[in-house]
A and B are shown apart, each in its own frame.
Chain A
Amino acid sequence: MILNKESVALMQKKASQYPRRKSGILPALTIAYRQVGHLNDQIYREIAKAINVPYVEVAEAATFYTMFPKQPTGKYLIQVCHNISCALLGADSLVEYLEQKLGIKKGETTKDNLFTLISVECLGSCATAPMMQINMDYYENLTRAKVDKILEELRAKA
């Protein structure tokens, strides 16, 4: 089992609130993602069993939603918004800065498995651009100094 007891219990509780259990699929994927950090076939099977829906339905839904990585990532998944409002305030240059600081290219993971860097579509922080999301947390109104500090703190925590 990849999913722990807490996750399974949470999924079951959530799914039981809806008039139809199938509605519990997306919440279950979210719960699994928060526990594991990515999703895979084994997890779909466990979810299907946990909330009592067909496996194919879980797998189908999961492939549609881009928010869930389908492969393991570094401990910290850095997602930089590259959409228009952020781009106008230097999002492309923020990505380059992170590439340089981490010594990787966009789409890659650092050797110590700490950071994965990707860029994503608008995250709803357009008036606090440029911004990035690391795992579930938002970091807004970014500057070079702020990015330095954030990375330092994450490294220290790891």
Chain B
Amino acid sequence: MTFYSPVITNAAEVAGSDKLHLFRYVEDANQTKIETYESHGGYGTWRKVLTTKKPDDVIAEVKASGLRGRGGAGFPTGMKWGFIPKDSPKPRYLVCNADESEPGTCKDRVIMERDPHAMIEGMAIAAYAIGCHLMFVYIRGEFGHCIETVDKALQEAYAKGHLGKNVYGSGYDLDMIVHSGGGAYICGEETALLNSLEGEKGMSRIRPPFPAIEGLYACPTIVNNVETLTTVRHIMERGAQWYRTMGTEKSPGSKIFSVSGHVKRPGNYEVELGFSLKKLIYDPQYGNGILGDKKLKGVIPGGASTPFLTPDQINVGLDFESMTSVGSMLGSGAVIVFHEDTCIVWAILKLIHFFRHESCGKCTPCREGTGWLEQIIRRIEHGGGKPGDIEKIEDICGNILGRTICPLGDAAVMPIQSAVKHWRDEWQYHIDHGKCLVPTRFEFV
């Protein structure tokens, strides 16, 4: 039995629900074995799709489901697949994005560690839909155990004839390669990922051309997140109509949220989109309230690159449109909770250090700007803040936002802008007094 994370999930709730589906079997230690997976109908959907449906039917079904990408941007999946040119003589590729490096995010890991065949089955269906015969999963290199588990599942799938030549006698060939990354957050950005997969440095590409037209090896390529592709398997099993009974009109379905930071019960929870953020943080079934019963200070709802929400903003649904309406984003669904003892300057220093470290350096605003921001914020945190620093931070942020090759630049500044807006007094205090307004000393016990 390969190692897997001890993270808490709501598998029991999901198993008792007739709608939630991603986490149904994740507490079953045998689920990684193909026999167990097949005994729950596993690979039956792939077989049905391959032997009875046309690729266009699959795209139409996924479009009808309203599924939106779970990697961060929420782009409609079926629509993306539709961008693959129908007449291109080149091979097409599917790449499953398992780089999972956005701070706060630890959900794709659970699928790979505990239900890897569901991901492979979803990938196979997506590959068929776009006419791909060689698909890849790009797993971050640190996830050695995930790589092992997925590799093993892959061998089993080949041995049972779910992958390989002439799958199910249909005449369709499908191969899969597990690729391990090198520990760079930027390689989660789809064009940097493709460069990395080609053996280049993981630097983003200028778009257009978009990957669907010219991606891997300059061929039409679709990049989708692990959770997105796993969901495809369930949509093709039970239909778009069923999928739409969950979530909201514009954000149908369910999604995994990684809850971390100052909650009593951190974990990964699958809930319907539109689920209350407040409930996810406070309900005993999920986050179970704030550590030490302290007061909530703020929440980052969608991973380290999304703007902060304040306690008066958490009575909101976790879906793409509601998050936008309160000035943040659903992102990767990584809910990071901060209690009252957290100094905002300290927290932002952690974040900007990350983005500066992970900037690929290709464009000036991001490469230089993140460096300046870190310097200024570090100075403030260590008591050397100067009058005008806040304005300088705002100015630099303004000069990065919207002016970079890839979205990492925006990702770096959005949480900072929100933190300055929500807690301006605290930044000012830090500059005036050379120290934090709140204690911020988190002991590990």
Residues on A lying within 8 angstroms of B by beta carbon are 17-20, 22-27, 29-30, 53, 57, 60-61, 64-68, 82-85, 87-94, 97, 121-130, 133, 136-138, 140-144
Tell me if B7 and A121 are in contact (CB < 8 A). Answer: no
With both beta carbons as reference points, the residue of chain B lying nearest to A92 in the complex is identified as: B442
B184, B262, B441: the one contacting A65 at CB < 8 Å is B184
A130 to B443, CA, bound (A): 11
Within 8 A of A (CB), among B313-369: 334, 336, 338, 342, 347, 350-351, 354, 357-358
A124 x B101 contact (CB < 8 A): yes
B260 contacts A17, C-beta separation under 8 Å:
no
Contact B5 A27 (CB under 8 A): no
B145 at the interface (CB under 8 A from A): yes
Q: Which of A26, A89, A90, A127 contacts B199 (CB 8 A)?
A: A26
Partner of B444, one of A22, A57, A91, A137: A91
Contacts of A144 in B (CB 8 A): 444-445
**Docked-complex contact B6 and A140, CB < 8 angstroms:** yes
Interchain CB contact under 8 A, A85 and B444: no
Asked whether, in the complex, the Cβ of B182 is within 8 Å of the Cβ of A68, the reply is: yes
Question: Residues of B within 8 Å of A, CB-based: how many?
Answer: 61
* Inter-chain contact A127/B179, CB cutoff 8 Å: no
Partner of A88, one of B179, B262, B304: B262
Residue contact A128 to B106, C-beta cutoff 8 Å: yes
Residues on B with C-beta less than 8 A from A124 are 100-101, 105-106, 109, 140, 142-143
Name the one of A87, A89, A121, A125 contacting B5, with C-beta atoms under 8 angstroms: A125
Q: How many angstroms between the C-alpha atoms of A57 and B159 in the bound complex?
A: 35
What 6 A-B pairs come out closest when comparing CB atoms?
A67-B183, A65-B182, A90-B444, A22-B199, A85-B260, A64-B201
Q: Which residues of B contact A83 (CB under 8 A)?
A: 103, 304, 350, 354
- Contact check, A90 vs B268: say whether CB atoms are below 8 A apart: no
In the complex, the chain B residue whose C-beta lies closest to that of A95 is B444
Picked from B182, B267, B354, B444, the residue with its CB within 8 Å of the CB of A127 is B267
25 sample A-B contacts, Cβ–Cβ < 8 Å, listed by A number = A17-B177, A18-B177, A22-B199, A26-B181, A27-B179, A29-B182, A60-B201, A64-B182, A65-B183, A66-B184, A67-B181, A67-B183, A68-B182, A88-B262, A92-B442, A93-B442, A124-B106, A124-B140, A124-B142, A126-B106, A126-B334, A127-B260, A127-B267, A140-B5, A141-B6
| CB <8 Å contact, B351 and A84 | yes
Main secondary structure of the interface of B (DSSP, over half): loop
What are the residues of chain B within 8 A of A91 when measuring CB–CB?
A: 442, 444
Q: How far is the CA of A83 from the CA of B140 in the complex (A)?
A: 17
Cβ of B398 under 8 Å from chain A: no
Shortest C-beta distance, B69 to chain A (Å), equals 19
**C-alpha gap A121/B304 in the complex (Å):** 12
A121 to B351, CA, bound (A): 10
Chain B nearest Cβ from A55, distance in angstroms: 13
Taken together as a complex, chains A and B put the C-alpha atoms of A89 and B341 apart, in Å, by: 12
B200 at the interface (CB under 8 A from A): yes
In the complex formed, the residue of B with least CB distance to A127 is B266
Measured CB to CB, the closest approach of chain B to A15, in angstroms, equals 9
